[in-house]
Structure 1
Amino acid sequence: MTITFLGTGTSSGVPIIGCTCLVCRSLDHRDQRLRTAVHLAVDGRSLVVDTGPDFRQQMLRARITQLDALLFTHEHKDHTAGLDDIRAFNFRQQQKIPVFGEPRVLEQLKKEFAYVFAEHKYPGVPQVSLHPILADDAPFDVHGVAVQPLRARHHKLPVLGFRIGGFCYLTDANHLPAETQALMQGADVIVLNALRREQHVSHFTLAEAVEILEELQPKRAYLTHISHQLGRHLAVEAELPSWIRLAYDGLQVEV
C-alpha cells in the first residue's frame, strides 16, 4: 500500500491569508500545507479520504488519474468542500463514485450539494453512490479492501478514522476511546493530528499526540492537520523521536 499525503494543513491551510509569521513566510515546501486529505493506493484500488477545498489541486499535483471510492471522516467544510471536482473522474471512468460516510455526514452532503442529489439533475453534475458507515464498528468492504472504522471525538462531534491493514489514519480528533486505541494496536504506521503546542478545544496538541503514539508504539508515525502555530517543519521535527515524523504535502509512505 502506498500512502500519499495530499494535504497536511489545518482548516485555513498554511500559509494563512494575510499572515506574515515565520512559518507562513517560509520557503521550505514542507511548511506549505493544503487542507488535510490522503490518497491510498491499495490492492490496485485508488481511495481518497476527504475532499477538502483543495481537492482539484491535490489530484493534479499528485497526478492521480483514477478514483475508485471516497471515504469521509466527518462533515466539516475543510473535509468536504471539493466534492464537486470528482466530476472529472465521472467523465473519465463513466461510472458513479462510491462515497462512504456516517449517515449524518451523508445527509450533510445532500444539503450542501443538493444539486448532486436532485430528482432532475443538471447535466454534468457529480455522480455518486452513497454507502453509510453504520455504528456497529464492523469492517466494511470497499472494492475488496477491508476498512475498519476508528471512532473518535472532535470536541463534541463524533468523527471517524480508518484502519486498512497495518495503516491507521485519524485526523481532527482530541479524544480516542480505549476501544479505538485497542483497534490501533499492532499497526505499522499511524497518522494522527497535532494542531499546535497550545491546548485546543477540538484537536490534539503536539504533546498529546506524541503521548498517544508512545502508548500505541507503531513502527512509524506521522503527524498531520498542522497549523502555522506549531512552528517550522525542520525545527519541530528535530524535537521528535526518530520514529515520529511530521507529514508534509506530497510525502509518500509505503506500508
Structure 2
Amino acid sequence: MTIQATLFSFVNRWECDENDHLNVQFYFSRFEEADRQFRLISGLSETLVGARRVRHVRFHKELRTGDLITVQSSVAFDGPHMLTVIHELRDGGTGMLAATALDGYEPNASSAKNLRQRFSDFQTPMISEASPRGLSAGPAGHRATLPGVQSKGAQICYRGTVLPRDIGIDNKADDQFALSCCTDGVPHVWQRTPMTHSYLSENGFGRVAVEMKLTWATPLKTGDTVIVATGFTGVGPKTFSMRHHLFESRTGRLAATLDVVALTMDLEARKAVALPQEAHQTINKMLID
C-alpha cells in the first residue's frame, strides 16, 4: 500500500461563489473529510504524532459545478515537516490536479525512526506541486493580539458566532468555519484597495486565492463570538498576500491565522491579470509585516 483513496465527492452548485467556481472553504472541507478517512485507514492519531500544526493548501485548477472530486492521501517524510501528510485533490473526470494540502506535524524527534516504520505502507515521495511557494511552510505564531495587529494597520472585516452547524466531530469549530469567516470578510479587505467591487465588476475581474495556510492557535466552541482582523503582508506584479487573524471576541484570544496569496482573474479568459499600478502602491503602503 502507498497512496490511499480517501474521498469521492462532487461540486454542488450552492458551493460555488461569485466567480462560478468551488469556494475555497469547500476545498478545506473536502481535505478535512479526506484526512478523517486517512487517519482511519492508516492509524495516524494525535497520540502518535501530536496535533496538526498547519494545513497548507495550493490551488492548481478551478473546479466548477458538476465536476467530480477525488482525493488521495499519503505520508511524506521528505516534506517540509518532520511528518507531512499530503492530500491530492483531483478532478475525478479528467484526473487533473486541482488542489493540494500539506498537513504538518512535529512529533518528538526520537520517534522519527519508529514513525517511518509504522507508516511505511502509506509513504510516498513529496510532490513538487504541493511545495509552498508564496508562503512559508511553518505555522504562524500564536502571540498576536487584536490591539497589536490593529496598531500595525490590520482592520476588522468580519464578526460572527460559532453555531452548532460549525462544529466538527471533535466538538470544535472546523476548518470550513474559519475559512467561511475569512472569505465572507475578504471582499471588505479588497475594498480598501483600488480593486474595489465596482472596479472588478466594470472590468470583468474576480478575486481569487492561489495559496493558503491555516494555523489553529486555540479551539472555538458553540456560542463563541468571533472577529477577523486582516492586514496586507506583501505585494508583487500579479499577486499580493494578506493575513487574517481570527479572534474569540469576548476574551480577545487568538483562535486561528489564515495566510493568503491572492490575485485578480479575468473571468472570461480565466487567467491572472497584473495589478494596476495604483493598487501595487496602495497595498505597499499598508503592509503590516
Q: TM-score, normalising length from structure 2?
A: 0.26
Looking at secondary structure, tell me which structure has more strand per residue. Answer: 2
Larger Rg: 2
